[in-house]
Amino acid sequence: MIRLTLSEIADRLSGVLHLEGTDATPGTTVDGPVETDSREIVPGGIFVAKRGDDTDGHLFVGAAVERGAALAIVEHPVSDSIAQILVPDAVVALGELARFVVERVRASGDLTVIGITGSNGKTTTKNMLERILSGEDETVAPIRSFNNAVGAPTTMLRISESTRYLIVEMGASGIGHISKLVAMAKPDIGVVLKVGLAHAGGFGGIESTLQAKTEMVKDLDENAVAILNADDSRVASMAEKTRARVVMFGQEDTASVRATDVAGTRTGTSFTAHVPGEEPVRITLRVLGEHHVSNALAAIAAASTLGVPLARSARALETLERAERWRMEVLGGKDDVTIINDAYNASPDSMSAAIKTLAQISEPGKRTIAVLGAMSELGEFAGDEHDRIGLQLVRLNISRLVVVGPEARRMHISAINEGSWDGESVYFGDMDAAYDYLAAEIIPGDTVLVKSSNSAGLRFLGDRLGALYSW
């Protein structure tokens, strides 16, 4: 974090500064990393004692002190000997501190903020854009999928006076969440990838999801840029709801940043990228899946808006070895067995895209195996969406289906009821049983997709299979 005095922070947070039992004064400065997990504190760090569903951060202030914390932001005084700022709500205070730091750096430096949202693809697009921009100038981007009311401001607080680009993932599980993050960061560029049924149980349906994702662009000012997916009609409609200049990306002819001649294999995905005023460039991503072409186009569009030539963006993208841990991560290789571990997250759209990729990259005469777990947070839509995936697997001629866990069993039943399979779909209640089956079932040349929501835990099954077939 940038250097601030304790009194500056307390004033901005409308908090009460407690310095009893410490050597600190209101003029004492702090500039260490801001954390909500005491285990991540480093000497000079700032600990935000937020309350959680399972525990209370105030119980860990002592642990933060032991690790060298210089300041604690708390909702009630604690007995530990550390400078404290007392606030009504620690999470709200974290957001306000992030807003303060972004404002300060923007006023004194040359900071550009890029916000990214969408039902799918945020983390992959963030990683792609970070890879491009970090080769241009100092860039700060989220760790993993830090995109909520805690993760996003924590990312913002990592900037310094010399940061040129700040990339912020903006996730939401309800109306108004993205608006709050936009108000904190005030993006110069707002990227919207897709409107789908991820977290539909919290939103209450696709129209509510559209409303929430539109929050990314509706408050941008006229000097900002809204980068929108031309291939998603709901996202494209946001052009009418923003004052910002609009740049469209996609494979549709209406997109100014376009991809043509898309081709996928087990080793990557290729396409020709087109940007107005530049020569087309053929790009080969190491990341699997045609759906990641859309993410790459979004990153290219943002970078182009910032003046990065297409050729440089292309070179940077081709160095990205994987989207993220457990996201279309290619493992294995022994006996020509490919394990695709994509079990960090799953929505109906991302599940469908992963299955299409599995079908597209299979080689003639070789088998495809889909190992699938539940898609979480779908609420009333869960049954129908699991049914739809089961039908899709049959219609795409996936060779084997292995369904794991009771919440995903409807995929197995739907595949069987489709009527064209006889024994190609199996169900297991737990991962160990599924692993034992797969260890005996997989043969040389197989391509195996492991896909589920994070809560289903199949990423660990994917890792076990990857280790089994690693060289």
Annotated binding-site residue numbers for ATP? 118-124
Q: Are 316 and 267 in contact (CB under 8 A)?
A: no
- The one-character DSSP state at 179 is H
| Beta strand segments in 286-367, E | 329-332, 338-342
Helix or strand run (H / E) with residue 265: strand 257-265
The helices-and-strands tally (H runs, E runs) of the chain is 16, 22
Task: Centre a 10 Å sphere on the Cβ of residue 179 and count the other Cβ atoms it contains.
Answer: 17
Task: Centre a 10 Å sphere on the Cβ of residue 292 and count the other Cβ atoms it contains.
Answer: 27
- Structure tokens that stand for 163 in this block: 């940061």
Give every strand in the sheet of 34-35, ordered side by side.
16-18, 83-86, 71-74, 46-48, 34-35
Q: How many CA atoms lie within 13 A of 333 on its CB side?
A: 7
- 461/447 Cα distance (integer angstroms): 15
CA triple 172-239-139, angle to 5 deg:
55
